[in-house]
Chain A
């Protein structure tokens, strides 16, 4: 069974530029999560989707971050414009359901904002 796929693996941009990350969850998983992991910290949830609907985006900085999961499968997370403090690893995870099931993580995208 294929795992969670993410691309790109690494991205370097200048501040105020825009960037997008892509995630393809494990086949059949209805729930998709985006986490932000700043160096030296544990991951923090940015947004949770159930199929193509948003369940929780309370921690998403909506003035600059946006995410979509239009067909309930793959997802895109965008930052526009980027700030220096957005430098982090962006992790995508998926689970078959949100209640008790395990979340499986992709390899992450390491973003560096200069």
Chain B
């Protein structure tokens, strides 16, 4: 069964420092991977996705993610964190049924990012 894991419940960084939010996945075949961010009392906002091609994916708000097939990872990164980046981050993988992708996203448990001034 397809799954994603976010090993850290919370990540703390100082403003201006680089940040990394970790995600590992388990899928059969080539994965379709996504990162979303959720602010309090808001829905999920799309940040970026990896479908195929370049392993470094650039997304919204200066975020990027690196797809690493050998390590089955898709870590979210940003060179310089902002206090306004503080939020809950979800990694997700598109589910694969017997006949291919089903459309359903399987989410990790989420990682709370706290950026301190």
Contacts and interface: CB of A to CB of B under 8 A. Distances in A.
A104 B49 CA distance: 12
Interface of B: 32, 34, 36, 41-46, 49, 51, 90, 92, 94, 100-105, 107-110
B103 A91 contact: no
Contacts, number: 65
B43 to A, nearest CB: 4
A12 interface: no
Contact of A44 (B34, B36, B107): B107
Q: Which range holds the interface residue count of chain A?
A: 20 to 34
A99 to B, nearest CB: 6
B51 A100 contact: yes
Interface of A: 4, 6, 31, 33, 35, 40-45, 48, 55-56, 91, 93, 95, 98-100, 102-108, 110
Contacts of A56: 102-104
A53 to B, nearest CB: 13
